[in-house]
């Protein structure tokens, strides 16, 4: 493909977002968190390298046994590991859950912070998690959470060729109008699961085929 101008790429990105909106008008986070930003933070932290469905199976048990931030902060990491044993990296995640609860209490007065800088100080919380917590937990939209689906789709659509998620996010923020950032993560995850699958993208039935330089 010949080098594409920014103007043309922006127009394509806009068309992609509009079609995503038409196909997934009610896309929501797949993680269960009951509207509680702390539970959302823990759920996203647990979802690294693991499916949301697997996380949704363990969090009800976690919250039943440790209903408050104080309960989790005082928990034994081994006991949390037992609850989380069915998900990847459960030992590290169990330790991070407890440390995260402790830091929210000791440094943030028991409230999940609302800025990137503060959120990323929490153990196990990176830019992607911070974006999801700010967006879905507080309704603050200052970025786009780039997970494995968003990363892959941005590259398939040639909206980014950056090697890492944070640079991919920077590329997307330059191309997509700010008022459309909020649903990108939820919509692209659905699209990634249903159509632009990592192993076998269904290009023949893809509603973005005419906008996609990688269409097979
Ligand atoms: S045309 Fe194929 S590669 Fe491109 S977005 Fe659709 S499914 Fe993915």
Q: Is residue 1 part of a domain?
A: no
Which structural domain, as residue segments, surrounds residue 160? 6-27+144-211
Q: Specify whether 125 is located in the same domain as 149.
A: no
Where is the domain boundary, 138, 157, 181? 138
pLDDT per position as a tens digit, 103-138: 999 999 999 999 999 999 999 999 999 999 999 999
Q: Of 134, 151, 152, whose CA–CA distance to 143 is shortest? A: 134
216 occurs within a structural domain: no
74 and 128 in a single domain? The answer is yes
Q: Which of 93, 147, 156, 171 is catalytic?
A: 147
Per-residue pLDDT reduced to its tens digit, 24-63 = 999 999 999 999 999 999 999 999 989 999 999 999 999 9
Supply the pTM of this predicted model: 0.91
Q: To test ligand 1's pocket by mutation, which of 155, 191, 204, 215 has the most ligand atoms within 8 angstroms of CB?
A: 215
Q: Verify whether ligand 1 is closer than 6 Å to residue 39 (CB atom).
A: no
Are 118 and 46 in a shared domain?
yes
């Amino acid at each position: 493909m010949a080098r594409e101008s920014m103007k043309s790429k922006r127009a394509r990105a806009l068309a992609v977002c509009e079609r995503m909106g038409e196909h997934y008008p009610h896309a929501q986070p797949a993680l269960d968190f009951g509207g509680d930003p702390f539970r959302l933070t823990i759920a996203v932290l647990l979802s690294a390298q693991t499916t949301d469905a697997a996380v949704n199976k363990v969090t009800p048990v976690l919250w039943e046994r440790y209903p408050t931030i104080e309960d989790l902060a005082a928990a034994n990491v081994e006991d949390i590991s037992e609850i989380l044993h069915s998900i990847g990296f459960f030992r590290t995640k169990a330790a991070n859950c407890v440390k995260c609860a402790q830091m929210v209490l000791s440094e943030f007065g028991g409230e999940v912070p609302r800025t990137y800088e503060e959120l990323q100080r929490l153990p196990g919380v990176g830019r992607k998690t911070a974006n999801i917590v700010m967006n879905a937990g507080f309704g603050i939209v200052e970025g786009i959470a780039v997970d494995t689906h968003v990363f892959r789709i941005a590259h398939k659509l040639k909206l980014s060729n950056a090697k890492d998620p944070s640079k991919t996010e920077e590329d997307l923020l330059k191309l997509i109008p700010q008022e459309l950032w909020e649903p990108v993560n939820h919509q692209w995850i659905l699209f990634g699961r249903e159509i632009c699958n990592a192993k076998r993208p269904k290009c023949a039935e893809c509603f973005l085929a005419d906008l996609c330089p990688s269409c097979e």
